[in-house]
């Protein structure tokens, strides 16, 4: 766990100095006040500064940031990272230049990184958190592409009068297809096959 001790004229000043050294925000740390400041005689003699010990919290978000920073550093990539949390997921979005190498063909490298990040962050933890990794908004763009594809292939199934078989997809992408066509009156979708070759079938309702 990263930690440091700092002094200052006030507790807040000492904490600010510690945050600057650690490179984190106030909500990412725990603060222990070691010494309160004292003014001393006439405000000069015997005065004592505030001393604080500031420790970085060991959170899932923090572990995710450290894991991804190590990947970026190893590959010589510079990027900005934004992490948001809700009751279900921790979402990490990375923005920067030349990050296509981290996305890969149809997001295969991105999915692999997300899998490794989940393994790393949840290792030896009593409670597991689900982490979603995105790079330059790729997943949102991919979701829109898949929705358009779903409707296009549903029309193809109608025109041909028979089922259409899609290429293998991961579970997240299959869910997007299923959800997009869920409310269609004359179309049904289902999956068949074993991972990682599981496919979606778009079929006419009988």
User: Which pLDDT tens digits describe the chain residue by residue (206 residues)?
Assistant: 688 988 888 888 888 988 888 888 888 888 898 888 887 666 556 678 889 899 988 888 889 999 999 999 999 998 999 998 888 889 999 999 889 999 998 888 999 999 999 999 998 888 888 999 999 999 989 999 999 999 999 999 999 999 999 999 888 899 999 999 998 999 999 999 998 889 999 999 88
Tokens at 114, concatenated: 């997300």
Q: At what angle do helices 108-122 and 60-75 cross, to 10 degrees?
A: 130
3-state secondary structure of 29: strand
> Is there a shared CATH topology between the 3-56 domain and the 60-136 domain?
no
Cβ atoms 125, 62 nearer than 8 A: no
* Beta-sheet pairing, 130-135 with 89-96: parallel
d(CA 181, CA 99): 32
User: What's the fold here for domain 60-136?
Assistant: GMP Synthetase; Chain A, domain 3 (3.30.300)
Looking at residue 177, its pLDDT comes to 95
Looking at residue 134, its pLDDT comes to 94
Count the Cβ atoms, other than its own, within 10 Å of residue 137. Answer: 10
Residues 6+ apart with CB under 8 A from 9: 37, 49, 50
Q: What is the CATH code for 3-56? A: 3.30.30
Looking at residue 35, its pLDDT comes to 87
So what's the architecture of 140-204 in CATH? Answer: 2-Layer Sandwich (3.30)
């Amino acid at each position: 766990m990263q930690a440091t001790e700092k002094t200052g004229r006030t507790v807040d000043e000492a904490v600010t100095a510690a945050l600057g050294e650690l490179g984190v925000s106030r909500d990412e740390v725990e603060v222990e006040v070691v010494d309160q400041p004292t003014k001393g005689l006439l405000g000069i003699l015997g005065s004592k500064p505030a001393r604080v010990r500031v420790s970085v919290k060991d959170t899932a978000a923090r572990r995710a940031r450290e894991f991804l920073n190590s990947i970026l550093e190893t590959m010589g990539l510079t990027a900005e990272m934004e992490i948001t949390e809700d009751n279900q997921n921790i979402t990490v979005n990375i923005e920067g230049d030349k990050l296509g190498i981290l996305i890969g063909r149809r997001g295969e490298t991105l999915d692999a990184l997300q899998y490794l990040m989940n393994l790393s962050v949840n290792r030896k933890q009593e409670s597991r958190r689900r982490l979603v990794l995105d790079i330059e908004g790729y997943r949102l763009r991919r979701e829109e592409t898949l929705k358009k594809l779903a409707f296009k292939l549903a029309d193809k199934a109608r025109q041909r009068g028979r089922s259409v078989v899609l290429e293998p997809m991961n579970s997240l992408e299959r869910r997007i297809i299923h959800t997009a066509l869920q409310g269609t009156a004359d179309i049904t979708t289902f999956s068949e096959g074993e991972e990682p070759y599981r496919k979606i079938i778009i079929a006419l309702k009988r």
